[in-house]
Structure 1
């Protein structure tokens, strides 16, 4: 199969390259100043003579030379622009297909004013609503300053992050998180740790795509979140430095440095950022199980240090061919400690029995290294080829020391159990993909293929403590190896039939081969020691757009998607959290499949209203169950989940100096299935809202007020959570000729995001949960920009690891 994919990719590359070489026309020349000196970085634009429509642009090199290409003949003219010089146009000229035209030497006159001292900037709206996605432009938000990526997701329209760091979109779980087009294959714990290490200073925008096309991997039943990191778009040498301080319960700090060099032939870029701080949260569980009451109170601390490094280069071989390399790394240490106190009573009489005092210390570290090699071909006819080869590596290490002491009401120790474990995780991901687009059949045809191979190795060594020395317990120790190969191919077609109708339709095929091997240290063989799976699936998608009139547009979308289990969720062995609670994997977890259909209406290009329906087969969720006096959590497949959705959102241009955005969503979820021997049949309505207002105050001052609210929700099909929300305020000032910015912000003004409350009654287990975290903070952020300010759009590319990185679990 690998050989077939390679031959297919090579054939696609050769065929498209041969097609694009036909009927090529070129226009060249050189540009000088009025003293005869060559001018570098002049923007030269090829325009249609009839209506000045842009055909192609180029930038002059160090010798002032340029070369433009056109796919068809006609009458054209050239424009020449650069800051500090008067704009100039050429005379009209005619160009035949396959012909070359030499424009000769052109001289530009220096502008009478010092335009080089004037910087012209454009500001994107903070929230952009498009037909296929909603975009949160983080770099334009004051209140986003000092936040990490996980906090920003909670503030984004329609997004939720619960107390267990599970992410959902408009109440729907199964969201896949991408960073720069690469899916992070991490479980909720490791993904949360990684997202907390990314500071808002490094983020350009967050894209929320509810119904991705066939070009994207089929993973993610609720859709895709793509976190776009900043990439410098300016010519010359330039960069920025940022430093931030945050005060919550404890102080925290962050900083970053960006450097960039760009000219006509090369773009070199790099970014280094870091975070340091201690995060505190508390959790309370009031649990009734059989005839026993457990009243647990725990305080958790996470000492976090992280550094992110991103470096890369793009080489522009000519106007059509570009090659690039990119390496991103993340290194973090997370020393997690917990102290809990659990009073145990006889529930019928509330008679006190004993107290469990448990301590857990887990020093750990994680590292992610991703390397990408990219080739891009693009010409003026609309043909484009992108090839990506990627390697991703995840390494996680954790050591847990967990003493448990049972005491009487006077504090005398009745008994003790001291546990230790060692849990290294190694994950390696290899991918290769090609994407091709070209004009075809009066529209745009896209097709491509992808190969991925993932290998994970997990070790769980469990120890008891004997007189201060660890003794390995063979019956509770294991190693788990998992291998997965996914081969995929897709075709996608897009066409505008007339001014009113447009269609996009696609089909993606994915063939999956996987094997999980559990090796117990005691040599015991059981049913789930070796689980193999091979399956083939088709994933259609379509979008039909009808422009009813100048004010109204309708958009109907459909997609079928899949959620495969995270790698460590398949590990069937138990991981004891304390003496009374533990988690265990499930080697027989099946992927879940979702069919989504959505109808949206846009009024005046501003107000977007949508309704939708989702049906999930083999719905997978975290469940809570019991064995004797212990409680455990495990991922299991239920029968079905059905979701009805509604949302409305719109920008609010209130005054010239006052702009806003508002979004409201509602859905109704229905669950039906079995958890063990217990039938689950429940329905629940969910709703939420988001708003943001920005104010231009004059004298380079701007201010912002933003807030979110999520009504009572559901987690894991059985947990019902209370409402939460927050209001944030911020102000910013630009100075030093707008090269420096200082931002002040306060989050969760009324302390309504925290605490949280949840309740679950199912299968003989009654639990009331509550807790809080550092949601109320004050933040200061300073940024200084230096170097060239001439902007040139950076090329955007999507690496090949999109669908693999999300499923890593430590």
Structure 2
């Protein structure tokens, strides 16, 4: 069945690709200026004569020629657009199937009108496909309203977020999350909590880069996702206020304020946001272990209060030099709680043995602070220098209260165990980097260096409570200190070899020194008390682009990347859900390495079809293991992984009032390894789709329909998951001279995104799990914009923490 599904998906993709290439008739011609000189890069649009609906688009080559494939019969006309020239139209002409129409020489006159006091309003497409990345312009999406950043990733093309809030891209794990060019260093739980505190109203765009160049840190085998927050783009004083309401199981609220000032010498920008609400999810786990059956059902709650602040300044010293400072901070006061019941049966006879009723309350605070100083030099000759110095801070607290009561069938208490723990985490990150780029050897040469130093301190104090007396258990208490220093340097070169060929090649070297020290409360020395590592790696990357003609481009890329363990995954503490279920870290985790190659075909600068292959060494993933009657999850290096992938993405301009985007992806994963004494081998076909349709309804009304689907897949090493998908709908109205916007949307209207389901049967342990979350919601948002409308390009920059801050969990 899997092979049939795999072949069906591949055939569908081939059919879609071939469908674009079919032609029934052609329209050709040559574009010149009024002196007879051929004009290149002219945008030519084939329009229906009846309503000027776009049919096809083309770009003239260096000889001014164009050749458009036109489907169907009818009356058409051509429009020609080029900066500095008047827009030109051809006469209306008839076209029959199989006919070749020659428009002859088209003459474009130079523009004679001067723009004065004109306000230009532009609208980016929802999805932009570029040579090196795909961009989801969140600020243009109605269905993104009222979401947080983690939910936005779920809506992004090619991105998946599983039931444990792990993020993958095109079915590949190991993706790195950047915020404004700075990598976050959080573990899965803290990263999810941090992203949930970012409101969609504060997000400008999400960039998905599958094969970054040597300029980027080498971490992230699936590539990187950069979340760009909104920043000042206008002269004068301006800002916006947003308020939102989300109704799921319970109501939730969010809001933000942006305030900016900019003139020719100074750019000041700020943002403050809040996200408050209670979220609910369920987890049911049916487990057969040894001679016992454990039937667990739990309901989890998370009361969140997240606050964020961003403030920065740029000072334009002269036409070449700019100095800037940026501070971002977030604070989350969150209380996670669960109530679970686990009925235990004797498997041979299915006789009831006992029941465990457990609750867990974990109040905690999370504080993130990042400070950056940047200097940028750029001259008219093309030389650019960027220097960044950064400091990042993470402080986390958590105190767990976990009573466990065992009952017999009559409801009498058999025994009780009350546990408490205290788990503060301190992480400090220091980085400095410099990037230089200048014209050289008929191209651009870039080089740079980076130094990072990270220090983490983790404490785990474990307590038992009996008769109201709380006792610290030294044998289960410890502290874990981890330090890491990474020194890196790179060189990168890019050049347009000819009109058809371009090349980019780079090499990055990273030297890593790390040390983890475990101090146990009882003073016992064990083999994993100290783990030190010192290693040096080279990470080459290259891209070769071949423009066959204005319609067809091929791009071949290669990169080698690394995934270092997150700081908390190295921490060997045990984190209990209840007496029978927990997770723990692994101080012996090794980094995993990935070699990736991709071939992308671009048609008409719109349709991208990518074929890829990746090989992963020391593949690390979550595994499920047992001790006596308990089950725990731990991250382990267990396999090699090979991934074959196909991805097709394209915007679809259907009508003048109707635009869309479709993305289809498929990959075939093969990995083999060993868990304990058990060999494991998996070959997994995975596939998914994303679509978004937007409609201009008139009178400043717009609508949007979007949806996603992920087929069956694998979570961790052994869990087989079921299909999931979701469909969202939204409407928007602008008023008060387009200064105010109201958006309303409904998510998961078919109730297909939740619950998730997964099954594992490996090594004598059978697990059948399912769970749900508040996927079905109604969201309302109001935004008011005030101040100057004079548009000016914002200064974009990346800070130096992009690689380190992402590994904090």
TM-score (norm 2): 0.86
CA distances 1:231-263 after superposition (whole Å, capped 9, x unpaired): 010000000000000000100000000000000
Counterpart residue number, 2:454: 454
Match of 2:807 in 1: 807
For residues 704 and 590 of structure 1, the distance between their equivalents in structure 2, rounded to whole angstroms, comes to 45
CA distance in 2, matches of 1:546, 1:425: 50
Q: Determine the C-alpha separation between the residues in 1 that align with 2:396 and 2:484.
A: 19
Q: Which whole-Å CA distance do the structure 2 matches of 1:312 and 1:602 have between them?
A: 38
Shift of 1:367: 0.4
**1:119 Cα offset (Å):** 4.2
| Aligned counterpart, 2:632 | 632
Q: 1:78 aligns to what?
A: none
Q: Distance in 1 between matches of 2:672 and 2:216?
A: 30
Match in the other structure for 2:777: 777
Structure 1: distance between partners of 2:784 and 2:473 = 56
Aligned to 1:507: 507
What is the match of residue 548 of structure 2? Answer: 548
Report the Cα distance in structure 1 between the residues aligned to 2:451 and 2:295, rounded to whole angstroms.
50
Deviations 1:432-472 (A, max 9, x none): 00001100000010100000000000000000002122210
Q: Which 5+ residue runs of structure 1 have no aligned equivalent?
A: 1-49, 54-87, 89-110
Q: Deviations over 1:746-767 (max 9, x none)?
A: 0001010001100111111100
What is the match of residue 245 of structure 2?
A: 245
CA deviation map 1:66-125 (0-9, x unaligned): xxxxxxxxxxxxxxxxxxxxxx9xxxxxxxxxxxxxxxxxxxxxx999x86x74310000
| 1:674 and 2:674 aligned | yes
Aligned to 1:483: 483
| Separation of aligned partners in 1, 2:514 and 2:234 | 45
Query: What SS class does the counterpart of residue 191 from structure 1 fall into?
Result: helix
Tell me whether 1:266 sits opposite 2:261 in the alignment: no
Checking the alignment, whether the CA contact within 8 Å between 1:459 and 1:478 is kept in structure 2 is: yes
CA distance in 2, matches of 1:52, 1:482: 61
State the distance in 2 between where 1:653 and 1:467 align: 70
Displacement of 1:770 in angstroms is: 0.5
Equivalent residues in 2 for 1:42-441 (5 A)? 119-441=119-441
Name the CA distance, whole Å, in 1 between partners of 2:634 and 2:391. Answer: 31
Deviation string 1:526-583 (CA, Å, 9 cap, x unpaired) is: 0010110000000000000000112110000000000000111112232333101121
Asked if the contact 1:706/1:728 (under 8 Å) is kept, the reply is yes
Cα 1:328/1:52, change in 2 over 3 Å:
farther
Counterpart contact for 1:528–1:572, Cα < 8 Å: no
Aligned equivalent of 1:563: 563
Matches within 5 A, 1:628-667: 628-667=628-667
Structure 2 counterpart SS, 1:362: strand
1:597 equivalent in alignment to 2:597: yes
What's the counterpart of residue 31 of structure 1? Answer: none
Aligned to 2:613: 613
Query: In structure 1, how many angstroms separate the alpha carbons of the residues matched to 2:127 and 2:258?
Result: 25
SS at match of 1:153: helix
Q: Deviations over 1:390-434 (max 9, x none)?
A: 000000000000000000122111000000000000000000000
**In 1, Cα distance between the equivalents of 2:550 and 2:800?**
39
TM-superposed CA distance for 1:349, in Å, is 1.2
CA 1:312 to 1:703, structure 2 compared with 1: closer, same or farther past 3 Å?
same
Equivalence map 1:459-470=2 (5 Å): 459-470=459-470
Deviation at 1:51, TM superposition (A): 13
> What SS does the corresponding residue of 1:509 show, helix, strand or coil?
strand
Whole-angstrom CA distance in 2 between matches of 1:731 and 1:410: 55
* Offset, 1:52: 14
1:565-615: per-residue Cα shift (whole Å, max 9, x none)? 011111223233310112121111100000000001011111110111000
Aligned equivalents of 1:717, 1:119: Cα separation in 2 = 56
CA distance in 1, matches of 2:332, 2:233: 29
- For 2:265 and 2:632, how far apart are their aligned partners in 1? 58
SS in 2 for 1:569: coil
Counterpart for residue 754 of structure 1: 754
Work out the CA distance in 1 between the residues paired with 2:391 and 2:489.
20
- Quote the residue 2:110 is aligned against: none
Separation in 2, partners of 1:469, 1:781: 50
RMSD: 1.6
Q: Secondary structure at the match of 1:150?
A: helix
Determine if contact 1:758/1:770 at 8 Å carries over to the other structure: yes
